Amino acid sequence: MILEAHNLTFYYRNRKKNPIIDSFELTIPPGERVGLKGPSGRGKTTLCRLLAGYERPKQGQVLLDGKPVGEYRGACPVQMVWQHPETVVDPLLKLKETMAEAGGIDKRLVEKLHIEREWMERYPSELSGGELQRFCLARALRPETKILLCDEITAMLDLVTQAQIWEFLLEESRRREMGMLVVSHSEALLEKVCTRIITLD
Amino acid sequence: MKNMTQTETNQRRRTVFFLIVAVMILAAVTAAGILTEGCAVETDFSRRNLSPSLQHLFGTDWMGRDMLARTLSGLSLSIRIGILTAAVSAAAALLLGTASVVLGRKADAVISWCIDLVMGIPHILLVMLISLACGRGFTGVVAGVALSHWPSLARVIRGELIQLRQAPYILVAERMGVSKLQNVRRHMLPHLLPQFLTGLILLFPHAILHESSVTFLGFGLSSEQPAIGVILSESMQYLTTGKWWLALFPGLALVLVVALFALLGERVRRLLDPSSAHE
């Protein structure tokens, strides 16, 4: 599936004069990994939210195979992995319930992401940030996912884990022909992982 | 060994124990009040104005009615009015709170304005007005108290829901294909419950106090009913002649019941509120 953003413009309420994202164009074809960098506060996360359908653009549109992303019912083929994993899991539910809600977990992912079975019996506050982030990745990588948006997903991890996760994501992207948008401040990482790098400013 | 004693007396267990005891006391008072309602209106002029004794623990009044029975049935009536009020208020608050979140910005503005409006009028004044308009008596009091106590709870629920609606984990669940209704049931209600329950229980003392004060002022229940407000306002005339038991015991009992409800709400909050749940 191809993800396209046409003339994308977004501003927060009462900030019409200086939109955070102004006439932005982007195309992510299957299998391409686009790197996105830019200083803090330039709307990288907002762009991800727009592309994943969390936010509705004020002008322009985000199309997935020609259909606006917001109109996909059921599980959306564009999934976003957030910067702070502890905010995206319900603190009152055990992880297995959160996982069941997202359609169960693939055995292969459990193995590749080094997720341990016993985590599923715990609450989110009983896992570390890195462990939770791997859980969130496994949740986002359901079979329907065609485009993955990674918003600074390894910023809080140690280098070994970072390397493991990116190696796995590279392999996954090649295997599934999955398009990716990788947001990071680390130029080295983007050059290593991405097929193309764009800058927001 | 030390661990054993620790678990036996930990805060949580003590709180649960207290909750059970408090609910049982309140239930017992309610039940006893219903059972003694016949006694409470029974007049016997051969035993007028007796001070407290073993036979009449709270004494008797100028018509020879047993004050213990009157107090109990008065409290029972108050608690029942409180329950009814709390139920109506809770339903209204939940409905309006949800509506102001679901129906969008304009509806929210209207509902918030209504909340501010009702909150702006002093409770006791509003209760009196509504009670008068509804023809006093039981219906008047219930209508008055129920229709004036929902705004605080509605405001809490609205705020909580607005915050929840934007919570990342709910947005993510939506993109994962979870339906709106399931989202509400699975992710919103469990988070709303502590605030809602606490607010609900803390409505009781307000409702009971307002019910008795509006009755005391003569805008509520009629004088032949054994209500705490009626008892207190009648005993005012006899206080100066030295019949202290007429006001003291019913007043103390009212304060105790109200304090019990307030403690109950506070304990429930401590038990359910994540920031103090592990104390």
Chain B (169-198) residues lying within 8 Å, Cβ to Cβ, of chain A: 169-173, 175-178, 186-187, 190-191
Which residues of A fall within a CB distance of 8 Å from B176? 75-76, 101-103, 139, 142
Residue A58 has pLDDT above 60, yes or no: yes
How much is the average pLDDT of A110-116?
Answer: 87
CA B15 to chain centre: 20
pLDDT digits (tens, 9 = 90+) for B129-159: 998 898 888 888 888 888 888 888 888 888 8
How much is the average pLDDT of A178-182?
Answer: 93
CA angle A181-A187-A81, nearest 5°?
A: 30
Question: What's the whole-number average pLDDT of chain B?
Answer: 82
Kindly report the nearest CA distance between residue A31 and chain B, in angstroms: 22
- B191 contacts A92? CB cut-off 8 A: yes
Supply the pLDDT for residue A81: 93
Non-local (6+) Cβ contacts of B159 within 8 A are none
Residue B8 has pLDDT above 60, yes or no: no
- The lowest-confidence range among A167-171, A186-190, B64-68, B74-78 is B64-68
Averaging pLDDT over each range in B31-40, B78-87, B264-273, which range is the top one? B78-87
Question: What's the whole-number average pLDDT of chain A?
Answer: 89
| β-pairing verdict for A67-68 and A59-64 | antiparallel
Which residues of A fall within a CB distance of 8 Å from B186? 90, 93, 101
Supply the pLDDT for residue B2: 46
Does the beta carbon of B272 lie under 8 angstroms from any beta carbon of chain A? no
| Token pair of B117 as six digits | 């409006």
Scanning every residue of chain A, which has its alpha carbon at the shortest distance from the alpha carbon of B190?
A92
How much is the average pLDDT of A162-184?
Answer: 92
pLDDT tier, A88 (very low <50, low <70, confident <90, very high otherwise) = very high
Residue B178 has pLDDT above 90, yes or no: no
Supply the pLDDT for residue B277: 60
Q: What is the largest CA-CA distance in chain A?
A: 51
Burial B198-230 (b: 16+ CB within 10 A, else e): bbbbbbbbbbbbbbbbbbbeebbbeeebbbbbb
Percent of the residues in chain A that have a pLDDT greater than 90, as a whole number: 41
Q: Write down the ipTM of this complex.
A: 0.88
How much is the average pLDDT of A5-24?
Answer: 88
Supply the pLDDT for residue B109: 92
- Using alpha carbons, select from B120, B272, B73 the residue that is nearest to residue B192: B272
- B176 contacts A139? CB cut-off 8 A: yes
- B175 contacts A79? CB cut-off 8 A: yes
Supply the pLDDT for residue B1: 43
Query: What is the pTM assigned to this prediction?
Result: 0.74
Q: Which residues are bridge partners to A147 per DSSP?
A: A78, A179
Contact B262, B205 (CB under 8 A): yes
Residue B44 has pLDDT above 80, yes or no: no
Q: Which residues are bridge partners to B60 per DSSP?
A: B66
Burial B134-169 (b: 16+ CB within 10 A, else e): bebebebbbbbbbbbbbbbbbbbbbebbeebeebbb
Contact B142, B131 (CB under 8 A): no
Residue B274 has pLDDT above 80, yes or no: no
